Every structure is written in C-alpha cells, then in structure tokens.
Amino acid sequence: MSAQIAIQSPADAERVAKANDLISPRFYTTDFAAMDALDVSPVRAEWDKMMAEYEGDNNHDHFQRTPEFAAEIREMDPELKKEFLDFLVNSLTSEFSGQILYNEIRKHITNPDIKQLMSFMARDESRHAGFINQALRDYGLAVDLGDLKKTKAYTYFKPKYIFYATYLSEKIGYARYITIFRQLEKHPEKRFHPIFRWFERWCNDEFRHGESFALILRANPKLLQGLNVYWIRFFLLAVYATMYVRDHTRPMLHNAMGLDSTDYDYRVFDITTEISKQVFPVSLDTNHPSFRAGLERLHRISDAVTRAKERGGIIGKLKQAGWALAGVVTFARLYFFPVKHHALPEQVRVAPSW
C-alpha cells in the first residue's frame, strides 16, 4: 500500500521534505572540531588521486537541461505520478541534506584535506539538488531550499556515525541509480521521465563521494574494529531496512520501469554489500530467507502503523503503539541475525563497474 500523501502544491512538497519520521531523509550536524582533526596521511596516495578526479570535474557540464528534456515529459497515470513526485521530493531532500552537511563542515574547519573534499562534494550535491528541483518546477512543485534549510530539524551525529551513515547512503545511492539506469537502458520504452537518462554520470559522483568516506574510515582503522563493528551492523541494517520499507510504499514507480520493489531492493543490496567490503569487516546476509522474512515483516508492520494512524482515536493510538513495539522487536531480531565477516582488502578504492 501507498503511505505517502499526494503532493499537489509547493506547500505539500515542503511538508514531505520537512518530515522527520523514521523513513524520511534527515538533515545532520556534527562535531566540527573532530572533523578538523582528521588525518588522512595513512591513505595519502589514494587520497591525492581521488582529489585529482574531483578537480578534473568530469560532470561539470552534465547537470544542465537539454532542449529534449521538456519534450520527453509525458502524461503519467495519477498513481504513478504521485509515487514519482514523492520519489523526487525524497531524493531532493537527500541530495540537499548532503549539500548542507558538506558545506557546513567546510565552513567550520581549516584542515586543508577535509576542507577541499567537502567543497567538492558540496559542489556535486548542489548540482544534484538543483537538477531535481528543476524537474519538480515542471510540475509547479519546486521546493524553497533556503527555507527548508532554515526550518527542517537537524539531527546531531558524532563524526563516526556520519561516516558510517554517509558512506552507506552514498554507495546505496550509487547502487539505486545505476540499477535503474541499466534497467531503462535495456527497456527504453519504460523510461517514463527524462531524468533517468542523467542517472549514469550522476551516480558516478555518488560513488566517488562514497570512496572519500571509505578512505577516511580506512585511514582511521579504529573506527572499523572492536565495539564499532556493532555500530557498523546497526547502520547497515538501519539503511537497508529504511530503504526496503520506503521503496515498498512505491510499487507503481518500480512496476512502471519493469521492476518489482522487492527484486530491485535485493539487487541494490547485493551491489552495496559487494562494494562495502572495501571498508566494513561485516556484511548483512540479505539473501538468507529468514533475513528476508524479517524485512518483509518490517514492511507489513509499517503499513499497519500507517493504517492505525489513519484510523485515529484511542484504538488507533493503541494499535500504533502495538505495531511500533512489533517493529522494534523485528528490527532487533534482524540486528542479531548472524552477519558475514571479511578481511579488508589492501587496496581501498573500488571501480564503479556495475
């Protein structure tokens, strides 16, 4: 079932962008002094090579509308349009969240390595956010990003949580965009909006952002050992489960591309897991039937919470609380499900070859 509201006005779009429920993208702030103190010298050679790639800026001309863009926009089935607009607003919020975080870090530090990295990543995310906002403008639904920056709530994360969460969201972002791009490359008749043609070069930016966090983590091996491994497991599960639940609120979006939400998500998990072996010593066993049953249960629980909310009243509230508890128990079971262990490769960098 579909949990999202129909976005029909800029105010609706802003409301969705501002949402702070469990599955909505958030804005983050962190400990800038700790960011300033980061040392990347243990990975200097790979770091400098990556900086040269950012400097080369091979996507500087990519995020511009071509004359064909407008001509390719077609009428959509209303249910598909509703899911697509929700997808655009969510993606915009994630991109803008990156832009704000990277920019704030850049402004508050002097460490030349990290400062330079943050300005490159903020540059990329601002192009991404701007491009999505232009697509929303075609529907009269552009979000006022200046206002969103001022009014959306911020979540404080210690730097290490920023690294785990942001590494994963950059890599999963790559895996999501490339999976859609490859699918529509094979089935161009299913490309119901021109924005998907931009996804290949776009997701290479996200891939590189993920590489940057991989290098920072590998330069600080303590963050990948001991009790921190429990945090890595937590973030892996939180990011995967959120994506699974959120994607299952958009079945039509995936169907229109000839994909099934469940299938699509497991393809994305496979790619992300494969990449994340560059940095995380553990990965989730997402192909195990019991693990899959747990994720499916989380999705059904999330639907039940939505129904209870819609019902309202005392019974609705009680039901909501009951399902919320069931959600916590299911999440905890998934958390304690055995993970796979890996030795970290000597060479950190991976190529975006999917």
Q: Is 250 in the site for Fe ion (CB under 5 A)?
A: no
Site string for Fe ion, 45-84 (x = CB under 5 A): ----------------------------------------
State which residue, 83 or 95, has the beta carbon closest to Fe ion: 95
Binders of Fe ion: how many residues, by CB under 5 A? Answer: 7
Among 82, 128, 218, 299, indicate the residue that binds Fe ion (CB under 5 A): 128
Q: Which of 51, 41, 35, 78 is nearest to 256 (CA)?
A: 78
- What is the number of helices (H) and of strands (E) in the chain? 14, 4
Angle at 325 between CA 294 and CA 295, to 5 degrees: 15
Closer CB to Fe ion, residue 104 or residue 170?
Answer: 170
Residue with tokens 């002097």: 110
The reply to whether 193 sits near Fe ion by the rule CB under 5 A is no
Q: Is 313 helix (H, G, I), strand (E, B) or coil?
A: helix
* Nearest to Fe ion of 180, 339 (CB atom): 180
Q: Is 265 in the site for Fe ion (CB under 5 A)?
A: no
Query: What residues between 82 and 111 interact with Fe ion by CB under 5 A?
Result: 95, 98
In angstroms, the CA 73 to CA 120 distance is 31
3-state secondary structure of 283: strand
CA angle, residues 44, 50, 53, in degrees to nearest 5: 145
End-to-end CA distance of the chain: 31
Smallest gap, in angstroms, from Cβ of residue 42 to Fe ion?
Answer: 24
206 is a site residue for Fe ion (CB under 5 A): yes
211 belongs to the binding site for Fe ion (CB under 5 A): no
Please identify, using beta-carbon distances, which residue of 98 and 327 lies nearer to Fe ion. 98
Closest CA to 124 of 229, 216, 18, 203: 203
Say whether residue 247 binds Fe ion (CB under 5 A): no
Find the shortest distance in angstroms from Cβ 335 to Fe ion.
26
Q: What is the contact surface with Fe ion in residues (CB under 5 A)?
A: 95, 98, 125, 128, 170, 206, 209
